[in-house]
Structure 1
């Protein structure tokens, strides 16, 4: 058995600040500012933008899938996580900074697509190793609250950076004013969309500043005596774990379920802003308001989910979150400028405000359920293993999750490209709507597998 320990308070806060440091990458780059800007102004059209974004983020996820088992096994065998976080942080920061050069209407998109893939690869991989540090910080009884509080803190960080970009940097090309009515700071040119492009460098700087407490104060696993055989030892242990997994029904089912519903959630975050820009015709500022709302409810959902986790168990929180997120997907797909739930509510764009209100409601629910499910998933994993296997389990959970991050984006890219073919005679908006339907399928697969998962803290273990 592993003795339960508690890290110093500043070490715990340092670890939590990693979520605060990294969340702007998801908020500004992946969801609410750069992604819709790329689809609306950099790519030839919105459907093509959604397709290319899917390829770029999917390739970044595929690189993680191909390399994470080997690197994760080596890291487990050698000990410390911080050197890996540092290395991948450098790649993520470079990728984010390079997004500044994505100018409107540029002909060759190769550089930008490579920068997007590099940013995804670096930032996501840094999170893999940071999450593996969590079980060494507090006793099991406090993991749910720690996980929920960290996610909530992250959403607040994303909210603050989103307000900074929309209120002071990103201006409408038509009015030249930001959401708060100011001219952009630093003389940023609205016509060249420099405010939207600045989300890349801002994300990089924010991350560099606020990740420092984790490096300075959070305790790391000690380096193991013999590192020379780390590669062989790590791969050997990984092989044993993978061979044993199919026989552990609850553990294996959770890993499979979480792979699908986490991939669906990531895809939903990644394409929500792009969808709003292409189908509803929203501006970056409108999408930003949507993002502010989702981040507020995300912080509340993560915090409340952590408390519900302690009272009812993480499995209940995960199950209800999947149902809510699936409903939100149906709500989003059924909403256009003239329709809600596939029912016509306006004959022309702007004829009714109901579609916009519906989308805002969906965004609020997605934020709340997304925050809760991510926090509860980390504690549900702990219930699948003995205490002396917790660190290994978190490594496998993180690695298995990243091993399929390419499925959602690539499925959306392929579906969008498929329905955009001339043979179907669909409009760009219709191709986009049908293109995001794979997200629902992924959520449903995750939900079907979840009943086989046992939460031993709240249930009697099955056979």
Structure 2
């Protein structure tokens, strides 16, 4: 029997309208520039290489922001999820959390090179706050998914959401390049010499979020209020969370999946957080090159999301995730085998010429080929993880279990960045630092293999 759309009356349709479903996907579109422009391809490499003069220190600072955000999300996501389940509506939470991300992104305009002291702390705090807001908002948005479509359509809508999100990231990257990087005179009077383009991605992501999240608020049905005061909801939510944690022994299959997601999710976060930094450091790419590289990765992830949406109903969420993890292991191994003058560990090639064109050296060709293998499964891994959680969550506890899902994705989120930094420091090699993700992926795949996926009806 299809799940009812939350907030609908007894006589209404059993699922949400096509408009509501389409509007739900605009959440991913609205938030994706934050992840694409700020935390992955533009601002993160700029911060580690220019805002902080020493790249090693810059990478350490960036890791600290992700560590603090990860700890906060790990501690509070299931609590907020339980409170929301007790109170009812999810949209007010999403609005408040989106405001945090908006404010954090807007502040990044003041991240000029060489800042220190209180201003540097302010930028680090802004990045942390924006990340926390985005990740918490995702918890509540994900919890809406089972109320919008019947169980057999969850994977499809989830994949469409991720795919549309990547389209948003792709377009936002194109706007940055077209307006601020390619022209001799950037738009709006920006100055390349003062890194205005890199700093502008913060306010641009904030504006994008404010505009494109509106359809979700306007057209997606929300769960009705249960008439519970906030204080009572907090108490009820905490009691329910305690009961859930004590009762997890009755949900061993879900617990195994949450552990698997925790491990391979750490690897995904690390690849996102350090992929652009690693590519820029390996080949010395400028902003234009790394921006085009980001567009390529978004195209791959977007394509993979839509392929995953077609594939998942045929082979299931679990197998889709497993296939994605295997592809990522192969892709990471390939990338780690490549240096400026060597590919596949043993084959020597000509070093990149200083005046070469875009991706013109043999090593860069090989790097892009491995990126193809690595980039395609990103979308399916995330979309199918979300849809599998929606299928495994017990009825009436969806938001709470999506809080635990966020917890599983963030509980050890500091560990992979910490291990990357530690291994990089000990070996003085970014290659060996990034290799840390491989055991995370392998262990996550093994844990996932023991999860029993319920059949869609």
User: Would the TM-score normalized by the shorter structure come out above 0.5?
Assistant: yes
Aligned to 2:410: 402
Secondary structure of the residue aligned to 1:325 is helix
Secondary structure of the residue aligned to 2:113 is coil
Would the aligned equivalents of 1:148 and 1:302 in 2 still touch at CA under 8 Å?
yes
Moved more, 211-220 or 106-115: 106-115
Structure 1 residues 3 and 328, CA gap change in structure 2 (3 angstroms): closer
Number of residue pairs the alignment of both structures matches: 440
Moved more, 286-295 or 329-338: 329-338
Give RMSD over aligned pairs: 2.1
Secondary structure of the residue aligned to 2:318 is helix
Matches within 5 A, 1:177-216: 178=182, 181-216=183-218
Deviations 1:275-332 (A, max 9, x none): 1122221112111111111111111100110111001111111001001111222222
Cα distance in 2, alignment partners of residues 458 and 83 from structure 1: 31
Would the aligned equivalents of 2:177 and 2:288 in 1 still touch at CA under 8 Å?
yes
Aligned to 2:42: 33
In the alignment, is residue 453 of structure 1 matched against residue 447 of structure 2?
no
Deviations 1:342-397 (A, max 9, x none): 22523644397122122222333332100011111122223434555545433432
Structure 1 residues 415 and 112, CA gap change in structure 2 (3 angstroms): farther
Q: Per-residue deviation at 1:35? A: 0.8
* TM-score of the pair, normalised by structure 2: 0.91
Secondary structure of the residue aligned to 1:97 is helix
Equivalent of residue 114 in structure 1, options 125, 133, 142:
125
Cα distance in 1, alignment partners of residues 422 and 68 from structure 2: 13
Equivalent of residue 436 in structure 2, options 417, 435, 438:
438
In the alignment, is residue 257 of structure 1 matched against residue 260 of structure 2?
yes
Would the aligned equivalents of 1:383 and 1:456 in 2 still touch at CA under 8 Å?
yes
Unaligned ranges ≥5, structure 2: 5-13, 355-359
Q: Per-residue deviation at 1:237? A: 1.6
Q: Per-residue deviation at 1:2? A: 7.5
Equivalent of residue 283 in structure 1, options 281, 286, 300:
286
Matches within 5 A, 1:152-301: 152-170=163-181, 178=182, 181-227=183-229, 228-301=231-304
Would the aligned equivalents of 1:168 and 1:182 in 2 still touch at CA under 8 Å?
no
Aligned to 2:333: 330
Q: Per-residue deviation at 1:34? A: 0.7
Cα distance in 2, alignment partners of residues 2 and 209 from structure 1: 32
Aligned to 2:16: 7
Aligned to 2:357: none
Cα distance in 2, alignment partners of residues 388 and 124 from structure 1: 22
Q: Per-residue deviation at 1:455? A: 1.3
Secondary structure of the residue aligned to 2:377 is helix
Matches within 5 A, 1:357-436: 357-419=365-427, 426=428, 430=429, 432-436=430-434
Would the aligned equivalents of 1:167 and 1:182 in 2 still touch at CA under 8 Å?
no
Equivalent of residue 50 in structure 1, options 59, 63, 68:
59
Q: Per-residue deviation at 1:59? A: 1.3
Secondary structure of the residue aligned to 1:105 is coil
Structure 1 residues 30 and 3, CA gap change in structure 2 (3 angstroms): closer
Cα distance in 2, alignment partners of residues 202 and 17 from structure 1: 17
Structure 1 residues 399 and 136, CA gap change in structure 2 (3 angstroms): farther
Unaligned ranges ≥5, structure 1: 171-177, 420-425
Aligned to 2:7: none
